Amino acid sequence: MRTPDFAATRRDLVMGATLTTAAVATPRRPGARAAAADTPATGPGAPVMKIAFTVNGAARTLDVDTRTTLLDALREHLDLTGSKKGCDHGQCGACTVLVGGRRINACLTLAVMHQGDEITTVEGLGTPDRLHAMQAAFIKHDGYQCGYCTPGQICSSVAVLEEIRAGIPSHVSAELEARPQVTPAEIRERMSGNICRCGAYSNIVDAITEVAERPA
């Protein structure tokens, strides 16, 4: 055994871990943006494009790196942080927003792909003093615990009811030609792309059901 070499390697690892911990623990200055991994760094020669779209009823214009996702454009450029970055791979639904009334994963689409589109985030659905019916129902039925996934859950829920009203079938719709019914199975299937790690699913279904039963 080469004990001296092992000891030296161990010291290196301990020192490296200590430096890494110190770097992570260092507080960011007020107003600092997210880490470079969140948004592609821009620099000389970086591909930048001007985009114009409507966000929550207001016309917005941005100059963004063409590699910027819609999620990062909303969060980092427009300060609309309601839409959350969860898995960043389109698997958890925390970033769900509405584009032209249809729900999408904002982390999977580029901002420049939405030139002229109408985008609605959870901030555009309602305000604290004037909640959207779905927001109020989530509060009433305690459809959240940590709340991280809740903005995406609410946006998706609003779109789900519109899909059902439009007669769009799902994988559990009994008859493809018949108008889908608002049932727990139908809601769970349509909401399966929105993950709640706290497990508030039954309360989420109750909230959606209550809103669905109200007059359109």
Average per-residue pLDDT for the chain = 85
Mean pLDDT of 201-213: 96
In the CATH hierarchy, which fold is given to the domain comprising 133-212?
DNA polymerase; domain 1 (1.10.150)
Domain with CATH 3.10.20.30 in the chain: 48-125
Domain with CATH 1.10.150.120 in the chain: 133-212
CA dist 198 and 145 (Å) reads: 6
Cα 166 from chain centre? 24
If one looks up domain 48-125 in CATH, what number appears? 3.10.20.30
Taking only the tens place, the pLDDT of each residue in 132-169 is 999 999 999 999 999 999 999 999 999 999 999 999 88
Question: Does 26 have pLDDT greater than 90?
Answer: no
Taking only the tens place, the pLDDT of each residue in 69-101 is 999 999 999 999 999 999 999 999 999 999 999
Closest CA to 107 of 91, 124, 120: 91
**Would you list the DSSP string of 10-31?**
HHHHHHHHHHHHHHHHSPPPTT
Beta pairing class for 96-99 and 118-120: antiparallel
Q: Using 50, 70 and 90 to split pLDDT, how confident is the model at 32? A: very low
Go through the chain and tell me how many residues it has.
216
Q: For the CA atoms of the chain, what is the radius of gyration?
A: 22
